[in-house]
Structure 1
């Protein structure tokens, strides 16, 4: 028989989940890819494009209002010959050296520097020039909703917002470069990272979307539920810098450890994840589960790490007592996830 805490967690998580997909997401995505991206002659003559869904929805951890995330993976000719050079000053970042790869005159003249390194901002500017052609265009949805599209450039993504009289949703398109590194195919996302000036403009972040989805999906429903609960808890506790990728990496590291038992109850999977997240902040070290050289806490100041660690440790000390409290009230439990004004005690 499940504990009172487990029953409360199950009720809370069922309330937190969002719908799986907006029915017109695929319509707008396909319009962007087929009518805007694939219709670009320069792009087609330079590389092939593959789309990968990533983020909270394919991971099964989305909440109401979650945006859609689509990675545009650019596969250059003979991509296996791109030399992937880890950045010695920015752990987890790499430079992409094209000197042994095939490329056209546009790539040479616009995208590469004088060392044949791919330039991060030029890739983003190129994709911006393509996707901004969607701005002001209109698309009919499945049920004749007429959507007007708007474009907005963000730090690493390009957001297309589709708005009709009945609804609004957004798709974040993220460009990435297909690379072959350490015997595997990866995606390299153009991303700024602080450090010395040399090669400052050539930083790319290594990711592996397929592996993330594989591990979280195979980890089981309790893993997905625990991530959703932990995300809500972090928001309720005023820890906004903890993002989904922090929680997903914490979960994958847990799944791959000897401590993971796929028969464990939701309450213990959740408490284990909370403990591991707190421990990562205690150590100021949360490696990306797929590429351990990348520390996901590198953009936290030491003061912010200490602040977050204190909150996580205090919360864990309280919640670990809940499985044995058979008279635990729903209000006392849910306060941690919804951040109500009422005192928990």
Structure 2
């Protein structure tokens, strides 16, 4: 197994910024996420939603980590659910993680990935994730929901 040390800047003014390193194993992470089409589609939808809502603090690795934890928690059949169920669940999970200000690093659950964000960024992201979750959840009961209305929540290339 190959492990990598990824340099991560610590918060603070640019000229005094130090670097820490995050250990990761992209091959194992890829293998865990591989082979599930619904998971891949929901991952892309969450990234698109993040971009549409302007959540720059919601890093792709945060989404990946959330999926890695859910793969550990959920049984394999969960990922065969319809896309809207998986999307709703993952969006709610991310919102809760940000509201609790706690997203444990997959390879060391004692480390909180959100520690490198400012309090304002965590709160802003928590608010936007919960707002998106509540709005999309209500759409299930909207009889005349249009594609155009739904599209406002996603950035389409």
TM beyond 0.5: yes
Residue of structure 2 equivalent to 1:221: 37
By how many angstroms is 1:217 displaced? 0.6
By how many angstroms is 1:263 displaced? 1.7
Q: Does residue 335 of the first structure (1) align with residue 152 of the second (2)?
A: yes
Residue of structure 2 equivalent to 1:231: 47
SS where residue 23 of structure 2 aligns? strand
Closer, same or farther in 2 for the Cα pair 1:194/1:311, shift >3 Å? closer
Closer, same or farther in 2 for the Cα pair 1:259/1:306, shift >3 Å? farther
By how many angstroms is 1:250 displaced? 1.0
Residue of structure 2 equivalent to 1:244: 60
Mapping for residues 14-25 of structure 1, pairs under 5 Å = none
Residue of structure 2 equivalent to 1:309: 126
Mapping for residues 1-345 of structure 1, pairs under 5 Å = 185-193=2-10, 203-218=20-35, 220-258=36-74, 261-338=78-155
By how many angstroms is 1:299 displaced? 1.7
By how many angstroms is 1:288 displaced? 2.2
**What TM-score do the two structures reach when normalised by structure 2?**
0.84
Structure with the greater alpha carbon radius of gyration: 1
Structure of greater relative contact order (alpha carbons < 8 Å, 6+ residues apart): 2
**What TM-score do the two structures reach when normalised by structure 1?**
0.40
Output one character per residue of 1:164-222: Cα deviation in whole Å (capped at 9) or x when no partner.
xxxxxxxxxxxxxxxxxxxx752223444469xxxx9784321111111011114x111
CA–CA separation in structure 1 for the residues paired with 2:152 and 2:117: 27
CA–CA separation in structure 1 for the residues paired with 2:95 and 2:7: 29
- Aligned residue-pair number: 151
Closer, same or farther in 2 for the Cα pair 1:265/1:246, shift >3 Å? same
By how many angstroms is 1:332 displaced? 0.9
SS where residue 262 of structure 1 aligns? helix
Task: Give unmatched runs, 5+ long, in structure 2.
Answer: none
Task: Give unmatched runs, 5+ long, in structure 1.
Answer: 1-183, 340-345
Closer, same or farther in 2 for the Cα pair 1:255/1:328, shift >3 Å? same
Output one character per residue of 1:131-160: Cα deviation in whole Å (capped at 9) or x when no partner.
xxxxxxxxxxxxxxxxxxxxxxxxxxxxxx
By how many angstroms is 1:269 displaced? 0.8
Larger proportion of helix: 2
CA–CA separation in structure 2 for the residues paired with 1:194 and 1:317: 31
